[in-house]
A = this chain, B = another copy of it.
Amino acid sequence: MKAEIISIGTEILLGQITDTNASYLAGQLPLLGIDLYWASQVGDNRRRLVEVMQRAWGRSQLTITTGGLGPTEDDLTREAIAEVLGEEMTVDPALEQELREFFRRISYEMPDRNIKQATLIPSAQAIPNPRGTAPGWWVEREGRILVAMPGPPQEMQRMWEREVLPRLRTKAEAGVILSTTFKTFGLSEAGVDELISALLSSANPTLAVYAKPEGIQIRLTAKARESEEAKRLMAPMEARVREILGERIWGTDDDTLEGVVGGLLTGKRLSLATMESCTGGLLASVLTDAPGSSAYFRGGLVAYSNEMKSAWGVDAKLIEERGAVSPEVAQAMATAARLKLGADIGIGITGVAGPTEIEGKPAGTIYIAIDDGRKRRLISGNYPPRRPDVKRWAALAALFELRRALLEP
Protein backbone atom coordinates (compact mmCIF):
# COMPACT_ATOMS: atom_id res chain seq x y z
CA MET A 1 0.00 0.00 0.00
CA LYS A 2 1.41 3.40 -1.08
CA ALA A 3 0.95 6.11 1.53
CA GLU A 4 1.29 9.89 1.65
CA ILE A 5 1.32 12.33 4.56
CA ILE A 6 0.06 15.92 4.39
CA SER A 7 0.72 18.20 7.36
CA ILE A 8 -1.52 21.26 7.35
CA GLY A 9 -0.87 24.60 9.05
CA THR A 10 0.71 27.94 8.22
CA GLU A 11 2.61 27.82 11.53
CA ILE A 12 4.64 24.92 10.07
CA LEU A 13 5.60 26.92 6.97
CA LEU A 14 6.54 29.86 9.19
CA GLY A 15 8.88 27.58 11.12
CA GLN A 16 7.02 28.27 14.36
CA ILE A 17 6.48 24.58 14.98
CA THR A 18 8.43 21.56 13.77
CA ASP A 19 6.28 18.98 12.03
CA THR A 20 6.79 16.09 14.46
CA ASN A 21 3.46 14.53 13.43
CA ALA A 22 4.91 13.56 10.05
CA SER A 23 7.95 11.87 11.58
CA TYR A 24 5.79 10.08 14.16
CA LEU A 25 3.48 8.72 11.45
CA ALA A 26 6.42 7.94 9.16
CA GLY A 27 7.81 5.77 11.94
CA GLN A 28 4.47 3.99 12.40
CA LEU A 29 3.68 3.02 8.82
CA PRO A 30 6.46 0.42 8.47
CA LEU A 31 4.83 -1.48 11.35
CA LEU A 32 1.87 -2.00 9.01
CA GLY A 33 4.04 -2.87 6.04
CA ILE A 34 2.84 0.37 4.40
CA ASP A 35 5.35 2.31 2.29
CA LEU A 36 5.48 6.08 2.65
CA TYR A 37 6.29 7.69 -0.71
CA TRP A 38 5.45 11.34 -0.13
CA ALA A 39 5.24 13.80 2.74
CA SER A 40 4.49 17.50 2.46
CA GLN A 41 3.46 20.53 4.46
CA VAL A 42 0.93 23.08 3.26
CA GLY A 43 -0.41 26.27 4.80
CA ASP A 44 -3.98 27.20 5.71
CA ASN A 45 -4.74 28.14 2.11
CA ARG A 46 -7.70 26.44 0.46
CA ARG A 47 -6.44 26.50 -3.12
CA ARG A 48 -3.04 25.01 -2.29
CA LEU A 49 -4.56 22.55 0.16
CA VAL A 50 -6.98 21.27 -2.47
CA GLU A 51 -4.17 21.00 -5.02
CA VAL A 52 -1.98 18.93 -2.70
CA MET A 53 -4.89 16.67 -1.69
CA GLN A 54 -5.98 16.16 -5.28
CA ARG A 55 -2.50 14.93 -6.18
CA ALA A 56 -2.37 12.69 -3.11
CA TRP A 57 -5.83 11.20 -3.77
CA GLY A 58 -4.74 10.49 -7.32
CA ARG A 59 -1.41 8.79 -6.63
CA SER A 60 -1.66 7.21 -3.15
CA GLN A 61 -3.96 4.47 -1.83
CA LEU A 62 -3.64 5.97 1.63
CA THR A 63 -3.49 9.69 2.42
CA ILE A 64 -3.05 10.82 6.01
CA THR A 65 -3.55 14.47 6.92
CA THR A 66 -2.90 16.17 10.25
CA GLY A 67 -4.11 19.62 11.26
CA GLY A 68 -6.74 22.02 10.00
CA LEU A 69 -9.65 20.37 11.87
CA GLY A 70 -10.07 23.21 14.37
CA PRO A 71 -13.16 25.41 14.56
CA THR A 72 -11.65 28.57 13.11
CA GLU A 73 -11.92 30.09 9.63
CA ASP A 74 -8.42 29.04 8.63
CA ASP A 75 -9.10 25.39 9.54
CA LEU A 76 -9.92 24.17 6.04
CA THR A 77 -9.12 20.45 5.93
CA ARG A 78 -12.76 19.30 5.90
CA GLU A 79 -13.71 21.83 3.25
CA ALA A 80 -10.75 20.79 1.08
CA ILE A 81 -11.57 17.06 1.31
CA ALA A 82 -15.20 17.76 0.43
CA GLU A 83 -14.08 19.80 -2.59
CA VAL A 84 -11.59 17.17 -3.82
CA LEU A 85 -14.22 14.42 -3.57
CA GLY A 86 -17.04 16.63 -4.82
CA GLU A 87 -19.21 15.82 -1.82
CA GLU A 88 -21.27 18.05 0.45
CA MET A 89 -20.62 18.70 4.14
CA THR A 90 -23.59 18.39 6.49
CA VAL A 91 -23.90 18.56 10.27
CA ASP A 92 -24.19 15.12 11.86
CA PRO A 93 -26.74 15.24 14.73
CA ALA A 94 -24.94 12.59 16.82
CA LEU A 95 -21.62 14.42 16.46
CA GLU A 96 -23.25 17.73 17.35
CA GLN A 97 -24.64 16.21 20.53
CA GLU A 98 -21.25 14.76 21.53
CA LEU A 99 -19.65 18.13 20.88
CA ARG A 100 -22.16 19.96 23.07
CA GLU A 101 -21.61 17.27 25.72
CA PHE A 102 -17.86 17.94 25.62
CA PHE A 103 -18.36 21.66 26.24
CA ARG A 104 -20.86 20.95 29.01
CA ARG A 105 -18.29 18.71 30.75
CA ILE A 106 -15.62 21.41 30.75
CA SER A 107 -18.32 23.99 31.54
CA TYR A 108 -17.69 26.20 28.55
CA GLU A 109 -20.40 27.76 26.38
CA MET A 110 -19.99 26.14 22.95
CA PRO A 111 -19.11 28.84 20.40
CA ASP A 112 -21.27 28.67 17.25
CA ARG A 113 -18.36 28.11 14.93
CA ASN A 114 -17.47 24.84 16.66
CA ILE A 115 -20.48 23.37 14.85
CA LYS A 116 -18.31 22.75 11.77
CA GLN A 117 -16.46 20.16 13.83
CA ALA A 118 -19.67 18.12 13.79
CA THR A 119 -19.88 17.92 9.99
CA LEU A 120 -19.36 14.93 7.71
CA ILE A 121 -19.50 14.06 4.01
CA PRO A 122 -21.20 10.88 2.68
CA SER A 123 -17.88 9.03 2.24
CA ALA A 124 -16.61 9.98 5.69
CA GLN A 125 -17.05 8.36 9.09
CA ALA A 126 -16.14 10.32 12.22
CA ILE A 127 -13.14 9.13 14.26
CA PRO A 128 -13.62 9.77 18.00
CA ASN A 129 -11.29 12.26 19.71
CA PRO A 130 -11.88 12.27 23.48
CA ARG A 131 -8.93 14.61 23.95
CA GLY A 132 -10.33 17.48 21.92
CA THR A 133 -13.27 18.96 20.07
CA ALA A 134 -12.13 17.84 16.61
CA PRO A 135 -13.21 14.35 15.57
CA GLY A 136 -11.16 12.86 12.74
CA TRP A 137 -12.49 11.77 9.36
CA TRP A 138 -12.09 8.26 7.92
CA VAL A 139 -12.83 8.69 4.21
CA GLU A 140 -13.08 5.63 1.99
CA ARG A 141 -14.04 5.62 -1.70
CA GLU A 142 -12.96 3.87 -4.89
CA GLY A 143 -10.64 1.62 -2.87
CA ARG A 144 -8.75 4.64 -1.59
CA ILE A 145 -8.49 5.80 2.00
CA LEU A 146 -8.01 9.29 3.37
CA VAL A 147 -7.59 9.77 7.11
CA ALA A 148 -7.83 13.29 8.54
CA MET A 149 -6.52 13.71 12.10
CA PRO A 150 -6.16 16.79 14.35
CA GLY A 151 -2.81 18.60 14.60
CA PRO A 152 -2.12 18.59 18.37
CA PRO A 153 0.27 15.64 18.79
CA GLN A 154 -1.44 14.15 21.86
CA GLU A 155 -4.82 14.13 20.14
CA MET A 156 -3.33 12.84 16.91
CA GLN A 157 -1.26 10.09 18.51
CA ARG A 158 -4.12 8.76 20.61
CA MET A 159 -6.42 8.75 17.57
CA TRP A 160 -3.74 6.96 15.56
CA GLU A 161 -3.06 4.28 18.16
CA ARG A 162 -6.61 3.57 19.27
CA GLU A 163 -8.63 4.19 16.11
CA VAL A 164 -6.66 4.45 12.88
CA LEU A 165 -3.90 1.84 13.37
CA PRO A 166 -6.39 -0.98 14.11
CA ARG A 167 -8.55 -0.10 11.07
CA LEU A 168 -5.53 0.10 8.80
CA ARG A 169 -4.26 -3.28 10.03
CA THR A 170 -7.33 -4.87 8.49
CA LYS A 171 -6.73 -3.01 5.19
CA ALA A 172 -2.97 -3.33 4.80
CA GLU A 173 -1.61 -6.13 2.61
CA ALA A 174 -1.39 -9.62 4.08
CA GLY A 175 1.60 -10.25 6.25
CA VAL A 176 2.34 -8.86 9.69
CA ILE A 177 5.07 -6.72 11.05
CA LEU A 178 5.70 -7.24 14.74
CA SER A 179 7.82 -4.89 16.74
CA THR A 180 9.15 -4.56 20.27
CA THR A 181 10.94 -1.55 21.70
CA PHE A 182 13.57 -1.98 24.42
CA LYS A 183 14.00 1.07 26.63
CA THR A 184 17.37 1.83 28.21
CA PHE A 185 18.76 4.52 30.46
CA GLY A 186 22.27 5.83 30.97
CA LEU A 187 23.68 4.97 27.55
CA SER A 188 24.47 7.23 24.60
CA GLU A 189 23.02 6.58 21.15
CA ALA A 190 26.50 5.96 19.75
CA GLY A 191 27.23 3.75 22.75
CA VAL A 192 24.21 1.53 22.12
CA ASP A 193 24.99 1.57 18.43
CA GLU A 194 28.49 0.28 19.09
CA LEU A 195 27.35 -2.39 21.54
CA ILE A 196 24.84 -3.89 19.11
CA SER A 197 26.55 -2.92 15.84
CA ALA A 198 27.03 -6.59 14.92
CA LEU A 199 23.22 -7.02 14.97
CA LEU A 200 22.33 -3.86 13.04
CA SER A 201 23.01 -5.47 9.66
CA SER A 202 20.29 -8.09 10.16
CA ALA A 203 17.63 -7.78 7.43
CA ASN A 204 14.74 -9.58 9.14
CA PRO A 205 14.27 -8.99 12.00
CA THR A 206 15.73 -5.47 11.90
CA LEU A 207 17.10 -3.42 14.77
CA ALA A 208 16.93 0.36 14.89
CA VAL A 209 18.26 2.72 17.55
CA TYR A 210 16.38 5.87 18.57
CA ALA A 211 17.31 8.62 21.01
CA LYS A 212 14.30 9.63 23.12
CA PRO A 213 14.12 12.11 26.01
CA GLU A 214 13.72 9.23 28.47
CA GLY A 215 16.72 7.31 27.10
CA ILE A 216 17.94 5.35 24.11
CA GLN A 217 15.44 2.92 22.63
CA ILE A 218 16.08 -0.09 20.41
CA ARG A 219 13.28 -1.24 18.14
CA LEU A 220 13.22 -4.87 17.02
CA THR A 221 10.96 -5.44 14.01
CA ALA A 222 10.15 -8.68 12.20
CA LYS A 223 8.15 -9.17 9.01
CA ALA A 224 6.40 -12.49 8.38
CA ARG A 225 3.27 -14.12 7.00
CA GLU A 226 1.74 -14.51 10.46
CA SER A 227 2.51 -13.52 14.05
CA GLU A 228 3.84 -16.90 15.16
CA GLU A 229 6.50 -16.84 12.47
CA ALA A 230 7.38 -13.20 13.28
CA LYS A 231 7.73 -14.10 16.96
CA ARG A 232 9.99 -17.02 16.07
CA LEU A 233 12.19 -14.61 14.11
CA MET A 234 12.32 -12.13 16.97
CA ALA A 235 13.07 -14.46 19.89
CA PRO A 236 16.79 -15.13 19.29
CA MET A 237 17.47 -11.47 18.45
CA GLU A 238 15.70 -10.29 21.61
CA ALA A 239 17.84 -12.74 23.61
CA ARG A 240 21.04 -11.28 22.10
CA VAL A 241 19.95 -7.70 22.75
CA ARG A 242 19.07 -8.47 26.37
CA GLU A 243 22.34 -10.36 26.78
CA ILE A 244 24.31 -7.35 25.52
CA LEU A 245 22.41 -4.51 27.24
CA GLY A 246 21.42 -6.48 30.35
CA GLU A 247 20.06 -4.38 33.22
CA ARG A 248 20.38 -1.21 31.18
CA ILE A 249 17.03 -2.22 29.70
CA TRP A 250 14.41 -1.04 32.19
CA GLY A 251 11.31 -1.79 30.13
CA THR A 252 9.70 -2.40 26.77
CA ASP A 253 7.03 -0.83 24.54
CA ASP A 254 4.51 1.12 26.66
CA ASP A 255 6.41 0.75 29.94
CA THR A 256 7.20 3.94 31.79
CA LEU A 257 9.99 4.20 34.35
CA GLU A 258 7.53 5.45 37.00
CA GLY A 259 5.19 2.57 36.17
CA VAL A 260 7.97 -0.03 36.42
CA VAL A 261 9.17 1.39 39.75
CA GLY A 262 5.60 1.60 41.00
CA GLY A 263 5.05 -2.06 40.17
CA LEU A 264 8.16 -3.08 42.10
CA LEU A 265 7.21 -0.97 45.12
CA THR A 266 3.68 -2.40 45.14
CA GLY A 267 5.01 -5.95 44.77
CA LYS A 268 7.34 -5.49 47.73
CA ARG A 269 4.76 -3.53 49.77
CA LEU A 270 7.23 -0.66 50.18
CA SER A 271 6.42 3.03 50.53
CA LEU A 272 8.44 5.93 49.14
CA ALA A 273 9.08 9.56 50.07
CA THR A 274 11.18 12.25 48.37
CA MET A 275 13.04 15.43 49.27
CA GLU A 276 14.02 17.45 46.22
CA SER A 277 16.10 20.55 45.79
CA CYS A 278 17.18 21.26 42.21
CA THR A 279 14.48 19.09 40.60
CA GLY A 280 11.89 21.22 42.39
CA GLY A 281 9.19 18.55 42.63
CA LEU A 282 9.65 16.99 39.20
CA LEU A 283 10.56 13.59 40.66
CA ALA A 284 7.38 13.59 42.78
CA SER A 285 5.39 14.71 39.76
CA VAL A 286 6.78 11.95 37.53
CA LEU A 287 6.17 9.36 40.28
CA THR A 288 2.54 10.47 40.51
CA ASP A 289 2.07 10.27 36.75
CA ALA A 290 1.55 6.57 37.40
CA PRO A 291 -2.11 5.82 38.20
CA GLY A 292 -2.45 4.26 41.66
CA SER A 293 0.78 5.84 42.89
CA SER A 294 -1.04 6.98 46.04
CA ALA A 295 -0.71 3.35 47.20
CA TYR A 296 3.08 3.61 47.67
CA PHE A 297 4.03 7.29 47.36
CA ARG A 298 3.81 8.78 50.86
CA GLY A 299 4.63 12.31 49.80
CA GLY A 300 7.36 14.68 48.78
CA LEU A 301 9.17 17.72 50.07
CA VAL A 302 10.49 20.42 47.77
CA ALA A 303 13.26 21.98 49.87
CA TYR A 304 14.48 24.74 47.63
CA SER A 305 16.19 26.76 50.34
CA ASN A 306 18.73 25.68 52.98
CA GLU A 307 16.47 26.78 55.86
CA MET A 308 13.81 24.52 54.40
CA LYS A 309 16.23 21.60 54.20
CA SER A 310 17.27 21.96 57.82
CA ALA A 311 13.69 22.64 58.92
CA TRP A 312 12.90 19.21 57.50
CA GLY A 313 15.71 17.45 59.29
CA VAL A 314 18.90 18.03 57.34
CA ASP A 315 21.69 19.04 59.75
CA ALA A 316 22.35 22.76 59.16
CA LYS A 317 25.98 22.25 60.17
CA LEU A 318 26.38 19.58 57.49
CA ILE A 319 25.02 21.99 54.84
CA GLU A 320 27.41 24.61 56.21
CA GLU A 321 30.41 22.29 56.05
CA ARG A 322 29.77 20.29 52.88
CA GLY A 323 27.65 22.70 50.91
CA ALA A 324 24.00 22.29 49.90
CA VAL A 325 25.15 20.63 46.68
CA SER A 326 27.11 17.69 48.09
CA PRO A 327 26.85 13.90 48.38
CA GLU A 328 26.51 14.21 52.16
CA VAL A 329 23.51 16.54 51.95
CA ALA A 330 21.84 14.33 49.30
CA GLN A 331 22.24 11.42 51.76
CA ALA A 332 20.85 13.47 54.63
CA MET A 333 17.88 14.55 52.49
CA ALA A 334 17.07 10.94 51.59
CA THR A 335 17.18 9.91 55.23
CA ALA A 336 15.18 12.94 56.36
CA ALA A 337 12.50 12.26 53.73
CA ARG A 338 12.26 8.65 54.86
CA LEU A 339 11.94 9.53 58.56
CA LYS A 340 9.88 12.74 58.27
CA LEU A 341 7.32 11.14 55.99
CA GLY A 342 7.45 7.72 57.60
CA ALA A 343 8.28 5.83 54.43
CA ASP A 344 10.34 2.68 53.85
CA ILE A 345 12.52 4.35 51.25
CA GLY A 346 13.65 7.97 50.96
CA ILE A 347 15.15 9.70 47.94
CA GLY A 348 17.12 12.94 48.17
CA ILE A 349 18.19 15.04 45.18
CA THR A 350 20.41 18.09 45.30
CA GLY A 351 22.28 19.76 42.48
CA VAL A 352 22.66 22.75 40.21
CA ALA A 353 19.83 23.10 37.70
CA GLY A 354 21.51 26.12 36.15
CA PRO A 355 22.03 28.36 34.35
CA THR A 356 24.41 29.78 36.98
CA GLU A 357 26.77 27.73 39.15
CA ILE A 358 26.26 27.26 42.90
CA GLU A 359 29.01 26.99 45.53
CA GLY A 360 31.48 26.82 42.66
CA LYS A 361 29.79 23.72 41.27
CA PRO A 362 28.87 23.97 37.57
CA ALA A 363 25.30 23.80 36.33
CA GLY A 364 24.41 20.18 35.68
CA THR A 365 26.02 18.81 38.85
CA ILE A 366 23.61 16.35 40.49
CA TYR A 367 23.72 14.16 43.61
CA ILE A 368 21.01 11.55 44.11
CA ALA A 369 20.76 9.47 47.28
CA ILE A 370 18.49 6.56 48.15
CA ASP A 371 18.09 5.35 51.74
CA ASP A 372 16.01 2.25 52.47
CA GLY A 373 16.99 2.08 56.13
CA ARG A 374 19.39 -0.80 55.58
CA LYS A 375 21.54 0.58 52.83
CA ARG A 376 22.37 3.96 51.34
CA ARG A 377 23.12 4.45 47.69
CA LEU A 378 24.50 7.54 46.06
CA ILE A 379 24.90 8.41 42.42
CA SER A 380 26.24 11.63 41.02
CA GLY A 381 26.12 12.97 37.51
CA ASN A 382 26.97 15.94 35.45
CA TYR A 383 24.52 16.78 32.73
CA PRO A 384 24.78 19.31 29.88
CA PRO A 385 23.44 22.43 31.58
CA ARG A 386 20.05 23.21 30.10
CA ARG A 387 17.74 23.71 33.07
CA PRO A 388 14.74 21.58 32.02
CA ASP A 389 17.05 18.80 30.73
CA VAL A 390 19.03 18.72 33.97
CA LYS A 391 15.82 18.39 35.97
CA ARG A 392 14.43 15.66 33.73
CA TRP A 393 17.69 13.74 33.65
CA ALA A 394 18.00 13.86 37.44
CA ALA A 395 14.41 12.67 37.99
CA LEU A 396 14.85 9.78 35.54
CA ALA A 397 18.26 8.86 36.95
CA ALA A 398 16.70 8.69 40.43
CA LEU A 399 13.94 6.38 39.19
CA PHE A 400 16.42 4.19 37.31
CA GLU A 401 18.64 3.90 40.40
CA LEU A 402 15.60 3.16 42.60
CA ARG A 403 14.63 0.37 40.20
CA ARG A 404 18.13 -1.06 40.49
CA ALA A 405 17.90 -0.96 44.28
CA LEU A 406 14.48 -2.65 44.26
CA LEU A 407 15.74 -5.43 41.99
CA GLU A 408 18.50 -6.36 44.42
CA PRO A 409 17.87 -9.63 46.22
Contact = CB atoms under 8 A, between A and B. Distances in A.
Contacts of A41: 22, 38-40
A368 interface: no
A298 B305 contact: yes
A78 interface: no
A252 interface: no
Contacts of A44: 208
A137 B308 CA distance: 47
B13 A26 contact: yes
A160 B25 CA distance: 29
A301 B303 contact: no
Given A73-B193, A382-B106, A389-B131, A302 B299 contact: yes
A61 B10 CA distance: 19
A294 B194 CA distance: 42
A38 B8 CA distance: 11
B304 A72 contact: no
A262 interface: no
B211 A16 contact: no
A30 B14 contact: yes
Contact of A38 (B48, B211, B276, B364): B48
A193 to B, nearest CB: 4
Interface string A264-298: 00000000001010011111110111010110011
A210 B68 CA distance: 11
A132 to B, nearest CB: 8
A134 to B, nearest CB: 10
Q: Which of A19, A288, A383, A391 has the most chain B CB atoms inside 10 A of its CB?
A: A288
A280 B287 contact: yes
A370 to B, nearest CB: 18
B299 A71 contact: no
A209 interface: yes
Contacts of A386: 130-131, 154
A12 interface: yes
A18 B269 CA distance: 39
Contact of A293 (B28, B37, B191, B280): B280
Contact of A15 (B10, B28, B152, B191): B28
Contacts of A381: 106-107
Nearest to A341: B308
A175 interface: no
30 contacts: A14-B26, A14-B30, A37-B43, A37-B48, A38-B40, A39-B41, A44-B208, A70-B190, A71-B193, A72-B190, A102-B384, A105-B382, A106-B381, A130-B386, A131-B384, A131-B386, A152-B211, A154-B386, A274-B302, A280-B289, A285-B285, A288-B353, A289-B391, A294-B304, A298-B304, A298-B308, A299-B305, A300-B301, A300-B302, A300-B304
10 A-B pairs closest in CB distance: A15-B27, A280-B288, A281-B284, A15-B26, A281-B281, A300-B302, A40-B40, A71-B190, A111-B190, A282-B285
